[in-house]
Structures are given as structure tokens and as C-alpha cells.
Amino acid sequence: MKITKIETLRVSIPFDGGGAAVGMRPGLNPWQKLESLMVRIETEDGLVGWGEEFGHFVNAGTETILQTLVGPWFLGKDSRPIVSLMEDAQRVFFGFGRNGRG
């Protein structure tokens, strides 16, 4: 089951913390929206999986990395051996070897 398509979708919903505008953004404008990045992966057999990335203010950067670097690397790969696939991805993108060793 090869991965044939990876799509991203940024979702934004109105947000009101209900309290004082302090905390994670002291001195800045309070949050007006809550944004998440949804990732949709499809295989050649029509299997679809969804994932979510929640990164506060870095969704645009994460989306760009997924669309231009990470996503293309996964395209065409067999989705079934998930453990070895993720180990290979960690080695390629983070320099980790098998079992987390360099």
C-alpha cells in the first residue's frame, strides 16, 4: 500500500479564553483564533488516514515543510511497515540511526 497523496489543511476556529489576556502571550494581543494543521494521507488502495499538528503560531512553517520536504519523501513509500518507515524518516530528517542511536 504505497502512499500516493499527502494534503494539508489549516483549520481556524474563533477562540476566547474567557479570562484575562495574560499567559502564553503576555503583552501581546490575546488570541482571537485557535489554529490547527490537519494532515490527510492516502494510499494507492484508497485507505485514508488523518493526523493533526498543533503548533500555536508555526502552522504556516510546518505546512510548508510538510508540502516541500517531508511529504514528498513519504510519497511512493509502503505504508505498512510503519515502525521501520518512521525510523527511516527520523534518520533522514533528524540524523538518528536505528533505535535512536546516531
The answer to whether position 69 is within a domain reads yes
Q: Which domain holds residue 17?
A: 3-75
Rounded-to-integer distance, Cα 100 and Cα 78, Å: 22
Regarding predicted confidence, which is higher, 24 or 76? 76
Q: What is the CATH number of the domain that holds 10?
A: 3.30.390.10
pLDDT in tens, 59-92: 899 999 999 999 999 999 999 999 999 999 999 9
- E-only strand ranges, the chain: 3-14, 33-43, 48-53
How many CB atoms sit inside 10 A of residue 62's CB? 17
| Total domains present in the chain | 1
The answer to whether position 81 is within a domain reads no
Q: What is the pTM of this model?
A: 0.76
What is the percentage of the chain residues whose pLDDT exceeds 90?
59
The answer to whether position 32 is within a domain reads yes
The answer to whether position 39 is within a domain reads yes
The answer to whether position 100 is within a domain reads no
